[in-house]
Amino acid sequence: MPTAVSRRLKQAAEWEADPYRVMRAQVERLLKAIRQDYDGLVKCGTALDYRLAVAKYAAEAKGILHVVAASEAAKNKEDIL
């Protein structure tokens, strides 16, 4: 039967390896960049500018999601993150 200390250590290790917590800064940075670009595009953006911005941020978001999916599928999440 696991002791209270071992359960806490296991919870702490899971928290440390939580991909959403680890990648939070990247997600926040991406959202800020999207907001800043959007403000600029509203003032003087063309259709091409919009498409390029969307493609750029979609690629970044897809990369973040791939890392999260890979870390959730792996036994040792720390290796992925």
Q: Check: CB of residue 23 under 8 Å from CB of residue 67.
A: yes
pLDDT tens-place string over residues 26-80: 999 999 999 999 999 999 989 999 999 999 999 999 999 998 888 888 777 666 6
- Residue, of 52 and 5, whose pLDDT is higher: 52
pLDDT tens-place string over residues 55-70: 999 999 999 999 888 8
Q: Where are the domains of the chain?
A: 4-80
Give CA–CA dist 32/34, Å, rounded: 5
pTM (two decimals): 0.72
**pLDDT at residue 21, rounded to an integer:** 87
What is the rounded average pLDDT of the residues 7-26? 83
